[in-house]
Every structure is written in structure tokens, then in C-alpha cells.
Amino acid sequence: MKITLDTNCFFDYFDRTSEYIEELIRHAEKGNIELAMTTRVKSDTHDKSRGKGESSIWNKIQSFPLIETIGTAFRLGESYIGSEDFIISEDHSKMIDDLREIMKEAQTEDIDHIFGHIVAKRDIFVTSDSHFLDHREELLNKLGVLVLNPEDAVKRIERVSSIDRRTERHIDCSRS
């Protein structure tokens, strides 16, 4: 299962010690899930450090070897050549317009996070940000994007893992 973490998940983990983010990390260490973040996490964490140089949160995030970085829309002032970001197509532009229509009050970075998640064909976008959570039904119904808060994401992963273990036991028993 492929999980994309929004920037606030890292703030929750490092600043507020979120038990649910810790659980997601444990699931990733066990190989139950794959964790990723978009390239916008770096700019989000630097913006939050209010121009004081390198963000301590970003430095901590880089210490996580199990988190993949996925690209999103290439934007001047945000992206750089050689990054995972990419030039968008007309179809991508339409998708970004659809996201803006759904999440009218969201910042460009928020749109870029969810856009990167969709294009990378990931399973669950995890956030505690109301910009996403307030629109989760519409995101699911119109774009097929499953948005969950960290607690609900952990519950879903544990439920799916439990079903997978039962299925594996059933297959092993039928081979005997």
C-alpha cells in the first residue's frame, strides 16, 4: 500500500509526537506500506522556518531513509532542474483546475501535494489539514483520491494487513 504524507504529518511527528505517525513509520519499517512525500514538503518546511535558513524539520525529515520523494508540477521558484518535479500536460492542467475547484481555499502547495499523489498513483493521502479533510468525499468521488487523517490511515492499514494475513494463511492451508 502506497501512502503519501502531507507536510503537517512531519510537524505532528517532530513537534507533537503523533502516535499515529509513529505507527505509520513502524508499518513502513515492517514493509507493510511504502511512505512518500512530495517535493513540496521541502518548500513547506522552509517557509515555516520563517526565513531563518535551513529548516530543522527538513533536516530531520532527511534522516528518514524509508520515505520516497515523489514529484509534482514543476513551478518556477519552487522546483529545480534535476528534481522529481515535471512539466505538466494539458490533462494534468485540467486535473489541477479540478483540484482548485474542489479545494477553493487551498494554497498552491496544497494542490501540488495532492496532484503529485494522484499522478504517482498512490493509495492513501494522509493529512491532518482541513483543506483536504473537509473535501475528502468530493476528492474521492470526483478524482478517486482517498484522504485520511493519520488515525484513520493506521486503522485502515491494520485492517487491510489483517485481511492479507488471513488470506495468506488460507492459501497456505489449501496448498497442504
We report the CATH number of the domain holding residue 141 as: 3.40.50.1010
The Cα–Cα gap between 18 and 149 comes to 12
Computed over every residue of the chain, the mean pLDDT equals 87
pLDDT reported for residue 142: 96
Residue 129 has pLDDT above 50, yes or no: yes
Cell reading at 136: 475528502
**pLDDT digits 0-9 by tens, 20-62:** 998 999 999 999 999 999 999 988 887 655 555 567 788 888 8
- Looking at the chain, the whole-number percentage of residues with pLDDT higher than 70 is 87
Strands (E), the chain: 2-5, 34-38, 67-70, 124-126, 146-148
The total domain count for the chain is 1
162 versus 154: the higher-pLDDT residue is 154
The Cα–Cα gap between 146 and 33 comes to 15
pLDDT reported for residue 170: 47
pLDDT reported for residue 176: 52
The Cα–Cα gap between 118 and 144 comes to 9
pLDDT reported for residue 59: 82
pLDDT (average), residues 75-80: 88
Residue 133 domain boundaries: 2-175
Cβ–Cβ contacts within 10 Å for residue 54, how many? Answer: 10
Q: Which of 3-12, 35-44, 47-56, 100-109 has the lowest mean pLDDT?
A: 47-56
The Cα–Cα gap between 23 and 149 comes to 13
Residue 87 has phi, psi (to 5 degrees) of -70, 135
Length of the chain counted residue by residue: 176
Residue 133 has phi, psi (to 5 degrees) of -65, -35
pLDDT reported for residue 69: 93
pLDDT reported for residue 174: 52
Residue 87 corresponds to which amino acid?
A: I
8, burial (CB in 10 Å: exposed 0-12, middle 13-18, buried 19+) = buried
pLDDT reported for residue 15: 80
Task: Give the pLDDT band of residue 101 (cuts 50, 70, 90).
Answer: very high
pLDDT reported for residue 109: 92
Residue 121 has pLDDT above 70, yes or no: yes
